Structure 1
Amino acid sequence: MEAPAAASPPALALHDVSKRYGRRWALARLSYTLPAGRSLLLTGHNGSGKTTLLRLVATALSPTHGRVLVRGNDCVTEREAVRREVALLSHASFLYEDLTAHQNLVVLARLLGMEGPSDVAGELLTKVGLTKRSDSPVRQFSAGMRKRLAIARLLMKAPALALLDEPFGELDPSGIQAMEKIIRELKDAGVTVILATHLIEQGLSLCEERLDLREGRAVAA
């Protein structure tokens, strides 16, 4: 008989994770496991620790105590391996202000070694509804348009784990519908999504798991 296949590691595993800024604990002894193939809704008031947690998973921060594992890789000691798996949509868009939307995506496509970077950029701009503004410099964009372009960058990276910090913020109703569609397509493609949002109804319709934070601690899961 063949040996049974090894179980896939969890998409995310938090082991007694704490993060301190000065005297304030943003996260306190947080443990949680998100199985592969499931998606997680993070809820909690401003300052509850949602953004800190996402930045730990994205390796932008290191925990004060505990371990954060992404698909079995440690976010501190195996940082590069984690970064290949993860993409973060954050409040900061990290876009080149003086380049056009199309140029921003072409730059990333070339960094990723993709073939036909201009064609890839055009397809993604169509997907996020920015075709008509593809040749406009980003400095002229509204907050909602920047959000659309940032999600195009995330899609280009094709992550195994997508971290979405308030993805519906600054979007009009049509933008919110487009973002919901994109999240569902990510899930259908096998991407694990961790979604932090104040729009609980939308979040519950998109995620199988929920983790509610209060002052850095889990109050419901």
Structure 2
Amino acid sequence: MLRLENLAKLYGLKVVFKGVSCRFTAGSITLLAGGNGAGKSTLLRIVAGLSRPSAGEVVFDGTGAGGIAREDGPRLAYLGHATFVYPGLSALENLQFWARAHGLRPSRAELLALLEHVGLAAHAEERAGVFSRGMAQRLNLARVLLLDADLVLLDEPGTGLDVTSMALVRREMLAARERGACVIVVSHDLAGDSPLADRLLLLEDRRLAYDGPPQGLAAVDSVLNAATGSVKASDAGEVPA
């Protein structure tokens, strides 16, 4: 579905990362980990088309979820640190706006069902500007689900969410993989996210330091500790498949 070819990002003379090359397939969940400033969010924004690489390129192979041909590239959904919530609009109006922006025409009943799914049905007519961070993030998740995307990019989706809400996010990650989407997640909770993932990418020392299964974390303990400050994988036990 997607490949990165020798990507680099510089800010002036500062190299964030360089030489990043890898391939992503449909029906998979990839975790992107690394320390603060390693370039995780920057890399995700480049994949989303929100930032330009200093070198290299992002290449789509012309197919979406389930191998369906997409001449104009895969349908993409991005959840970043900003919630993309319009504070003057209600939760329902936000979804209606996002749907129109993407050429979609869901019914009111379908949008209300989506708000019910993310636990916001009781707040459908409330202005989003009064929402807590967690509620705004739930509404943002509803936007991602609305698009039924081929490529789902999640940048620390647990930010501002309680345990129940994070469980919802993880269920939707699995559901997206099941329907054939490619899911890429910037994660600071490797213990919670690794059991869901097929693959782990670790950015460290301005390069892609590890590309392999989450079960291989024990092989990169020193890099993992530097990147996340977490306990060694070998101390915590093997990460389940």
Structure 2, unaligned runs of 5 or more: 64-70, 212-241
Aligned-partner Cα distance in 2 for 1:81–1:30: 24
Instruction: Choose from 3, 8, 20 the match for 1:30.
Output: 20
Superposed, 1:30-109 pairs within 5 Å as 30-72=20-62, 81-82=72-73, 85-109=75-99
1:61/1:99 CA distance change after superposition, 3 Å: same
**Partner SS for 1:136:** coil
Match in the other structure for 1:6: none
Match in the other structure for 2:138: 148
Match in the other structure for 1:183: 173
How much has 1:72 moved relative to structure 2? 4.8
**C-alpha contact (below 8 Å) 1:109/1:117 kept by paired residues:** no
Q: Between the two proteins, what is the percent identity of the paired residues? A: 34
Aligned-partner Cα distance in 1 for 2:11–2:205: 13
1:155/1:23 CA distance change after superposition, 3 Å: same
Match in the other structure for 2:208: 218
Amino acid of the structure 2 residue aligned with 1:117: S
**C-alpha contact (below 8 Å) 1:19/1:26 kept by paired residues:** yes
- TM-score, L = length of structure 2: 0.80
Aligned-partner Cα distance in 1 for 2:32–2:106: 37
1:15/1:115 CA distance change after superposition, 3 Å: closer
Superposed, 1:115-154 pairs within 5 Å as 115-154=105-144
Return 107-116 or 188-197, whichever deviates more: 107-116
Aligned-partner Cα distance in 2 for 1:42–1:112: 27
Return 25-34 or 151-160, whichever deviates more: 25-34
**Partner SS for 2:145:** helix
How much has 1:180 moved relative to structure 2? 1.1
Render the CA deviation track for 1:18-44: whole Å, top value 9, x for unaligned. Answer: 011122122211111123322211011
Aligned-partner Cα distance in 2 for 1:143–1:216: 32
**C-alpha contact (below 8 Å) 1:40/1:211 kept by paired residues:** yes
- TM-score, L = length of structure 1: 0.86
Q: Number of matched residues?
A: 204
1:158/1:116 CA distance change after superposition, 3 Å: closer
How much has 1:96 moved relative to structure 2? 0.9
Structure 1, unaligned runs of 5 or more: 1-10, 74-79
Aligned-partner Cα distance in 2 for 1:215–1:90: 24
